[in-house]
Amino acid sequence: MISSALTITNATILTPQGPVKGALRTEADRIAAIGPEVTAQDGDRTHDAKGKLLTPGLVDLGVFAIDKPAFHFGGITRTALMPDQNPPLDHPARVRFAASSGKPDLWVHPLAAATRGLEGSDLAELALMRDAGARAVGTGRRWIADSGTMLRLLRYCAMLGLVVVSHGEDSGIAGSAVATAGEMATRLGLPSAPAEAEALAVARDIALAEMSGARLHIRQVTTRASLALIRAAKARGVNVTAGVTPAHFMLSDIAMSDFRTFARLSPPLRCEDDRRAVIEAVGDGTIDVIASGHDPRGPEDKRLPFADAEPGMAGAETLLPLTLTLVRDGVIDMGRAFELLAANPAALLGVEAGRLEVGMEADLAVIDADRPWIVDSDKMAAAAGNTPFDRQPVQGRCLALFKGATLVG
């Protein structure tokens, strides 16, 4: 009789204490044993990792579409869905539907819209949406400009035990800008906003989080000035965390030089000094989460003049290999990479995943960290291949993916 247990053998297991060579065994959908002495029992399903790395499935904090083929290709088992849907996730029924939309082979954790219609004025039904499955509250791609509204939101979420995921960009300054003010935006004649629009928004949100005692996660922090604010806030005990996508540590605004709309992102790409500051912040622990910002956009959204194109990139398939470039460059080690990709986002969402420990959910990825491949926008598993990394050689592939000990990719 075949049991429900799974044993992955001959693996280099990435535990929180460091890599362990041996096997990992599950019972039902939980990790039951890890170590060199673990062996398969009669009736177990088995998978030979052939010496490759066994890691937690990635937890992608802040995607804009449920795109299972891309997530499975990228080693992602859980996604936090942004509230910027059509219609927005500002009602319990929509949150409940979104939370079930990935079953049976993907966990979807919706972020409840902070305000009705994401318009930044009236708070949405946050407690009801939490009960419907929301794991955090998000302002979406917008900043809540009214400080009174933001303070009420933070205080309410502190009471509910929910993290507020904020967009750090002062809309009064950013306006309809599509680029960061500087030499490149001037050369291209693009509507631009100063990088300080981010720092001003981050400074205000940190101040309100400090007043309210709430947990604040700023989804993308992309400038040296903003990172300095985060660093200082953490030093004085503010409960703030910061995220970034690979685009902002891999690319500067030079990537826009040919008006290529795949480099039209939100927030926009920054100058080279800011890109280097993001890498430094990943290395020193200021950045807590690396996420894909996955937002597949077809030709109807991208094959337009740069200023008219929609922001966003298909990032799920390149999240792992681009983060591994920081490991190869010596910025972080492999353990830290998976804290950024899995453990920390899981902790922010309050889910028992992201770490290979006994008792945790068996979301597992077998990874060849050195396997080379070339990003090809025409062959991506994503619903659309709008990546600024088209034709770029990368290293790192997910070879097998398990959700709750069931093979899904």
Q: What is the pLDDT along the chain (409 residues), one digit of tens a residue?
A: 345 899 999 999 999 999 999 999 999 899 999 999 989 898 899 999 999 999 999 999 999 999 999 999 999 999 999 999 999 999 999 999 999 999 889 999 999 999 999 999 999 999 999 999 999 999 999 999 999 999 999 999 999 999 999 999 999 999 989 999 999 999 999 999 999 999 999 999 999 999 999 999 999 999 999 999 999 999 999 999 999 999 999 999 999 988 989 999 999 999 999 999 999 999 999 999 999 999 999 888 999 999 999 999 999 999 999 999 999 999 999 999 999 999 999 999 999 999 999 999 999 999 999 999 999 999 999 989 889 999 999 999 999 999 999 999 8
pLDDT given at position 1: 34
Contact in structure between 79 and 69 (CB atoms under 8 Å) = no
pLDDT given at position 4: 80
CA distance 249 to 7: 37
CA distance 381 to 70: 5
| Tokens matching residue 356 | 């290979």
Q: What's this model's pTM, rounded to 2 decimal places?
A: 0.95
pLDDT given at position 313: 93
CA distance 200 to 231: 15
Q: Tokens 């979807």 — which residue?
A: 108
Tell me which fold the domain 57-355+369-395 belongs to: TIM Barrel (3.20.20)
CA distance 74 to 58: 8
* CA distances from residue 123 to 52, 103, 206 in whole angstroms, order as listed: 47, 29, 19
* CA distances from residue 243 to 120, 285, 369 in whole angstroms, order as listed: 22, 11, 23
* CB-based burial, 174-189: b 16+ in 10 Å, e otherwise: beebbbbbbebbeebe
CA distance 60 to 296: 15
CA distance 119 to 62: 19
Contact in structure between 164 and 154 (CB atoms under 8 Å) = yes
Question: What are residue 240's DSSP bridge partners?
Answer: 216
